[in-house]
């Protein structure tokens, strides 16, 4: 018997998450649990690192574009301490993309830009895995209602059973309404839950986007080498030029907004 779409999505996301061993992974099941428990003292900041075209189809509820987060962190701060203090002190920061590769890359970069956030930044298994987790969560909630006697089935043809709780869905950012449509980047990652519909880039656009991801990966790897090389230098040069660091972050924000 072949693997289910859920098995495929989990296998793919775990493969990509393992590419970033220094970034704590998070499953969509864990995220849903945290979302239910979050409050003002323990908020969650969910960041979508995908392109504008992908985000325009749907986003995980409560998430914001990466460019918005970077703008918040660089708009009025003069030091790393100021940047981090602008966030809730116990906030967990969860990055996601389609399946965990691009989000891991950007999570690693955020650790370099904002070292005081290290340990609070997580790489989600992706919006594809989220479709399976949200559907499973809805099924569990319905079963709990049945067991608690909250969902009573009737025998009359004219009666209707109590309405089952709607499964958590994605949000269309244009209308802020629920949607079951999700962008999977390419057909290779089209393994969403059966209750969702999918779209992806056409082949010419997909090849272009994959090339851009490859270039960005090369850039991020180079930035990683420079970052850790300066840390090992021991002369303190990494922290001396604050204006240079701030300018670098502003340029990076513009780069992110162009995606």
pLDDT in tens, 113-136: 999 898 999 999 999 999 999 987
Max mean pLDDT range (24-28, 110-114, 228-232, 235-239): 24-28
pTM: predicted TM-score of the whole model, two decimal places: 0.80
Q: Is 87 inside a domain boundary?
A: yes
Instruction: Collect all residues with Cβ–Cβ distance below 8 Å to 154 and sequence separation of at least 6.
Output: 160, 161
* Contact present, 131 and 171 (Cβ < 8 Å): no
Q: Is 51 inside a domain boundary?
A: yes
**Residue 91: domain span:** 5-128+202-257
Q: Is 188 inside a domain boundary?
A: no
Q: Is 52 inside a domain boundary?
A: yes
Dist. CA 73–CA 80, nearest whole Å:
9
Q: Is 19 inside a domain boundary?
A: yes
Residue 138: pLDDT band by 50, 70, 90 thresholds?
low
The CATH number of the domain where 230 resides is what? 3.40.250.10
CA-angle at 120, arms to 115 and 122, nearest 5°: 110
Domains: count for the chain? 1
Q: What pLDDT was estimated at residue 157?
A: 34
Q: Is 228 inside a domain boundary?
A: yes
């Amino acid at each position: 018997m072949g693997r289910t779409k859920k098995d495929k999505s989990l296998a793919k996301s775990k493969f990509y998450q393992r590419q970033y061993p220094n970034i704590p992974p998070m499953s969509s099941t864990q995220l849903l649990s945290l979302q239910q428990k979050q409050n003002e003292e323990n908020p969650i900041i969910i960041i979508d690192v995908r392109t504008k075209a992908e985000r325009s189809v749907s986003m995980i509820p409560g998430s914001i574009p990466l460019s918005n987060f970077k703008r918040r962190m660089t708009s009025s701060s003069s030091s790393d301490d100021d940047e981090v203090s602008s966030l809730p002190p116990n906030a967990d920061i969860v990055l996601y993309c389609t399946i965990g590769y691009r989000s891991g890359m950007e999570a690693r970069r955020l650790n370099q830009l904002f070292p005081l956030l290290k340990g609070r930044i997580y790489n989600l298994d992706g919006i594809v895995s989220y479709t399976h987790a949200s559907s499973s969560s809805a099924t569990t909630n319905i079963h709990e209602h049945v067991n608690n006697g909250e969902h009573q089935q009737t025998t009359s043809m004219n009666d209707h059973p109590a309405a089952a709780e709607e499964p958590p869905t994605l949000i269309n950012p244009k209308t802020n309404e629920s949607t079951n449509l999700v962008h999977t980047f390419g057909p290779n990652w089209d393994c969403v839950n059966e209750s969702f519909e999918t779209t992806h880039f056409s082949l010419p656009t997909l090849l272009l986007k994959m090339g851009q991801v490859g270039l960005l990966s090369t850039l991020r790897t180079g930035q990683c080498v420079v970052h850790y090389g300066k840390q090992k230098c021991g002369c303190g040069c990494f922290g001396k030029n604050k204006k240079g660091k701030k300018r670098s972050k502003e340029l990076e924000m513009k780069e992110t907004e162009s995606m």
